[in-house]
């Protein structure tokens, strides 16, 4: 009779843990279905970086127009002379002066991006001339987002 009691308690022990494990699996399946484990869900759709002399304040692509708002972080006046990206087919050349800690908006022509389509221009080049030294510099950064 003692053997039956031991067998019954062992079986109850295993069944109880089985239900607990099943409940955990169901909870993880529901969380996975809701996208909780998708890290891109928690990241901003628009990202930029890689520029040390510029601070990208805002940007958007609508059709073939990239509107890029950049701030001067050099500490002295600079002249922006070009914006290029081979991946995005972007090209702009001109001469726009940007004072220290000032912001300037540039309108750049790129390859058309459909509304809602994702783009990743990780070869975005901004060229500028330092007003103090008159030397030309080019910085490479990235812009990621969706067409608006």
Residue-wise pLDDT for 6-26, tens only, equals 778 888 888 889 999 999 999
Residue-wise pLDDT for 41-79, tens only, equals 666 678 888 898 889 999 999 989 999 999 999 889 999
Cα(144)–Cα(47) distance, integer angstroms: 5
What's the Rg (C-alpha) of the chain? 28
Structure token digits, residue 65: 């127009």
């Amino acid at each position: 009779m003692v053997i039956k009691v031991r067998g019954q308690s062992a079986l109850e022990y295993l069944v109880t843990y089985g239900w607990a494990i099943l409940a955990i699996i169901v909870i993880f399946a529901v969380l996975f279905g809701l996208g909780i484990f998708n890290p891109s869900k928690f990241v901003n759709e628009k990202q930029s970086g890689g520029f040390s002399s510029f601070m990208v304040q805002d940007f958007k692509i609508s059709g073939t127009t990239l509107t890029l708002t950049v701030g001067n972080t050099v500490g002295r006046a600079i002249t922006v002379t070009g914006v290029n990206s081979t991946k995005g087919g972007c090209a702009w050349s001109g001469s726009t002066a940007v004072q220290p800690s000032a912001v300037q908006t540039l309108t750049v022509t790129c390859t058309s991006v459909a509304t809602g389509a994702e783009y990743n221009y990780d070869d975005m080049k901004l060229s500028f001339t330092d007003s103090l030294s008159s030397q030309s510099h080019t910085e490479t950064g990235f812009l990621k987002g969706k067409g608006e």
